[in-house]
A and B are shown apart, each in its own frame.
Chain A
Amino acid sequence: MPFGVNAFIDKMEEVVPGSRKSMTAFFELCEEVRDAQAYSSSVNGNTDSSYMKEHFPNFIRAGSYSVNEVLGALGMPTAAQDILNAYWCYLGVDCDRMSFLHYGSMVIRYITRDAWMPKMRSHEISLALEERIRELGGEIWYHSPVVNIHADGPGAITGVELSDGTLIPTRHVVANCSPHLVFGGLLEEKAVTEQMVRAANARVFSGRGFSLFLGLNRSAEELGIRSHNYFIYDTADSVRQYDRMRKVDTNHVQATVCLNNAFPGCSPEGTCILYFTTMFMSDDWGNVSDADYFKAKDRVADDMIRVFERETGCKIRGAIEEIAAASPTTYARYCGHPQGVIYGYEAADWDALMSRMMMMREDAQLFPGLRFAGGWAMRSSGYSSAYVSGDLSGRQTVGDLKKEVR
């Protein structure tokens, strides 16, 4: 599908005649969602409800419904829904349980502003941020896992302890890891309340990640790979698909990127880079034994290549020069996230984005002095969401500090 609202609607009408009206209504609704969110951000979440009702009535009306409920209400033909919903795996929740507001705001940004990435990948953003932190006088310690958050009791943090025993006194912590890890292990037990335990237990882990990276010794053009981004599913029904993603064996979903088609210079002339991502919606991967581990990775990788070749007709197998696979175990190793989850908590049903945002302040009251940032926090996962939540929690922590001084 092309970028740009009009181009998107035109293309949809071409493949699904009769879809124009509902597609137009869809994008109008998305625009209202986007505007409402911009307003909400501009007032730091302290929205005025009469202003909201007056200016963004449809935002409020559609606000509590799922993607499929809204698209149905808009009378969108099923075939058009199937195409439009192809992006669902970006958010990792099937369209019966994904909030329309979340999906709508993602899709409208994606279609109007295109997808962007730094030439040197996310690492470049991370380093730009880290350089700015240094410039402003901050320090960054790598290889320094936090193993304990010390506290005198609920809401009374005294410091953090690193794996080598180093103690850093502080009253404030912004945690970029999951509440499950913080309340289940890092935070001193005497400071953990039943409320925190219940709140963490109530939430659902999102997908566990699996990625395959290929360095191919022929160009994308030679191999016939024309798109930057491919979504390949077993079925267009996201609910059924989600179910198939619970098991390693029944999951053949892939979101596949050929970076060279966005940035031709990303690999040497005559080569290209292809990477595949999928998710498992349960802990099935945990059944893999250590001795079967490398073979299990190969099996998933082999399946990804098979499905890609079948669907695109591009023969890539013989061109593999470099290959690396990252399993949930790999993500658990490098990111520390429980079970190798890469998307934080599922932003589904009652825990969808909007409800989280509206409860931001209340959630932070669960443990004064402790805030969360990143994929597990109020904005849910994705790069921009992770950065924005860090910005929010950072600014709020500075606010907490200022209050203390006063």
Chain B
Amino acid sequence: MTFKKQVFGFLDMLRFKKLVPNRRAALAAGSPEPLPKSYRVNEQARRLHPGVMEVELTAVRPLCPGMQEFTFRRLDADAFPFFRAGQYAALQGNAGGSLVSRPYSIVSSPRQALAGELTFGVADAGFFSGWLNREARPGDRFRMTEPSGEFHYETLRDHRQIVCIAGGAGITPFVSMARSMAEGDEPYEMLLFYGARTREQLAYREELDALREKGLRVVYVLSDEEVPGFEHGFATAKLLEKYTDIREASFFLCGPQAMYDFLDRELAPYALPRKAVRRDASCCGALPAEEPRVFRLTVHIRDRVFSADAAENETLLASMERAGIPAPSKCRAGGCGYCRSKWLGGEFRIAEGRDGRREADRKFGFVHPCVTYPLSDMEIEVPPAE
């Protein structure tokens, strides 16, 4: 071998021997300046992803019958994180003895967040939302998760033309998306179909009409009223065709399940690729049940052990919250993984179509309590809430 016959010689041995003394000297020659206490990129990570924030409700105003707007400011910082219009944040509070958390689409724009303001539009439906509408007052304090979620425009994936279809309270993410477009932060052209029963049921009409000047196209679709200047009925494919080329648009849908089912049927003949239609995720709730069986749920959080009643028709997360156990959650739809917990024993089932676990998590026994229902007594290990 050529190499053996002297490519390197005796000096190479010496050099090798010097590796350690050289390194020792280099380490000792480092600057004695104190090490940095923080780093720019990590600071940005903390600003954009503060985890859980302390917030105060600053204003409540009615939007339409059965729906109010809630405005918050941060107590632990001046600004809310910049986010992607369409995302949600989960609000956590203590409602009637339960520690509850619910995700709400953010209505205000990312620029407003930087200015220190974040708003939700909340319909008076369900346990926590109902409580908010009835009981919450300016000055009340809550905790809020950072903005999260994948329901937002993607420049490299979506058509420039987006068609947003809102049903009722589903208008909320689109108000933020329209504002963000108007503020120059999003490159899309937005056509919004907003369905409600009557004019009176339309929230944010004034704001949306004002946004027309900034390029928003909005079509109100009233099911129970025939009024000039408003479309009547539902957002059928025929109606969509009147305003846009269905095949050249990306769809964003937010509304009740019935609306999704309806639009699925309307759009089916176009055989659009999956990527063309995105739906906002909804919380996984309780199942209807006549006389649900109730099991014992044992919960480990670090070295503490809790116990709760767990009805077979309620998610493990809801049972923990009812019992005041501080379990983490964000999306409550199975997808974000924030509630991910170790399964230790017992039978369970997962809400249909909502098993968002990673394959390895399934293999090694992890569950997402927000979409998991007990079928026997169960034992799980839950990470502490932040």
Asked whether, in the complex, the Cβ of A198 is within 8 Å of the Cβ of B29, the reply is yes
State the CA gap A75–B180 with chains docked (Å): 60
**A90 part of interface (Cβ distance < 8 Å):** no
Asked whether, in the complex, the Cβ of B1 is within 8 Å of the Cβ of A143, the reply is no
Q: Which of B133-141, B153-161, B219-227, B305-313 participates in binding chain A?
A: B153-161
CB neighbours (8 Å) of A46 from chain B are none
State the CA gap A58–B4 with chains docked (Å): 7
Asked whether, in the complex, the Cβ of B19 is within 8 Å of the Cβ of A143, the reply is no
Asked whether, in the complex, the Cβ of A74 is within 8 Å of the Cβ of B3, the reply is yes
With both beta carbons as reference points, the residue of chain A lying nearest to B35 in the complex is identified as A184
Indicate with 1 or 0, residue by residue over A183-202, a CB within 8 angstroms of chain B CB atoms.
11100000000110111111
Interface size on B, residues (CB 8 A): 67
| Known A63-B19, A339-B42; contact A127-B364, beta-carbon cutoff 8 A | yes
Asked whether, in the complex, the Cβ of B16 is within 8 Å of the Cβ of A61, the reply is yes
**B268 part of interface (Cβ distance < 8 Å):** no
With both beta carbons as reference points, the residue of chain B lying nearest to A333 in the complex is identified as B45
Indicate with 1 or 0, residue by residue over B9-46, a CB within 8 angstroms of chain A CB atoms.
10011011011101110111111111111011110111
CB neighbours (8 Å) of A317 from chain B are 156
**B168 part of interface (Cβ distance < 8 Å):** no
**A93 part of interface (Cβ distance < 8 Å):** no
Asked whether, in the complex, the Cβ of B12 is within 8 Å of the Cβ of A25, the reply is no
| Known A25-B3, A143-B328, A198-B27; contact A321-B111, beta-carbon cutoff 8 A | no
Asked whether, in the complex, the Cβ of A200 is within 8 Å of the Cβ of B15, the reply is no
User: Which residues of B, 231-259, contact A by the 8 Å Cβ criterion?
Assistant: none
Expressed in whole angstroms, the minimum distance between the Cβ of B358 and any Cβ of chain A is 6
Q: Which of A11-19, A251-259, A283-291 participates in binding chain B?
A: A283-291
**B74 part of interface (Cβ distance < 8 Å):** no
Asked whether, in the complex, the Cβ of A62 is within 8 Å of the Cβ of B82, the reply is no
Q: How many A-B residue pairs have CB under 8 A?
A: 214
**B185 part of interface (Cβ distance < 8 Å):** yes
State the CA gap A65–B8 with chains docked (Å): 10
User: Which residues of A, 334-357, contact B by the 8 Å Cβ criterion?
Assistant: 336, 338-340, 350-351, 354-356
| Known A127-B361, A127-B364; contact A63-B157, beta-carbon cutoff 8 A | no
State the CA gap A321–B277 with chains docked (Å): 10
Expressed in whole angstroms, the minimum distance between the Cβ of A132 and any Cβ of chain B is 11
Asked whether, in the complex, the Cβ of A61 is within 8 Å of the Cβ of B8, the reply is yes
CB neighbours (8 Å) of A152 from chain B are none
CB neighbours (8 Å) of A107 from chain B are none
> DSSP class of A's interface residues: helix, strand, loop or mixed?
helix
State the CA gap A181–B88 with chains docked (Å): 32
CB neighbours (8 Å) of A38 from chain B are none
State the CA gap A144–B4 with chains docked (Å): 54
Asked whether, in the complex, the Cβ of A28 is within 8 Å of the Cβ of B1, the reply is yes
| Known A290-B114, A323-B154, A354-B19; contact A332-B26, beta-carbon cutoff 8 A | no
**B285 part of interface (Cβ distance < 8 Å):** no
Contact of B30 among A128, A200, A320, A322 (CB under 8 A): A200
**B359 part of interface (Cβ distance < 8 Å):** yes
Asked whether, in the complex, the Cβ of B41 is within 8 Å of the Cβ of A283, the reply is yes
Indicate with 1 or 0, residue by residue over B358-386, a CB within 8 angstroms of chain A CB atoms.
11110110100000000000000001111
| Known A62-B8, A63-B16, A359-B23; contact A332-B28, beta-carbon cutoff 8 A | no
Asked whether, in the complex, the Cβ of A321 is within 8 Å of the Cβ of B19, the reply is no
**A362 part of interface (Cβ distance < 8 Å):** yes
Asked whether, in the complex, the Cβ of A202 is within 8 Å of the Cβ of B26, the reply is yes
| Known A201-B30, A362-B24; contact A60-B42, beta-carbon cutoff 8 A | no
Expressed in whole angstroms, the minimum distance between the Cβ of B7 and any Cβ of chain A is 5
Asked whether, in the complex, the Cβ of B12 is within 8 Å of the Cβ of A62, the reply is yes
* 28 contacting pairs across A/B (C-beta < 8 A): A21-B2, A61-B8, A65-B12, A74-B2, A75-B2, A120-B360, A123-B358, A124-B364, A144-B302, A144-B383, A185-B37, A197-B33, A199-B28, A290-B47, A290-B81, A291-B114, A301-B156, A302-B156, A320-B154, A323-B156, A329-B45, A332-B39, A333-B45, A336-B42, A338-B41, A339-B42, A350-B26, A362-B24
What 17 additional pairs, Cβ within 8 angstroms, besides A64-B15, A359-B23? A58-B3, A58-B8, A64-B18, A65-B8, A65-B12, A74-B2, A121-B360, A127-B366, A166-B302, A208-B41, A217-B274, A283-B39, A290-B114, A298-B156, A320-B154, A321-B275, A329-B41
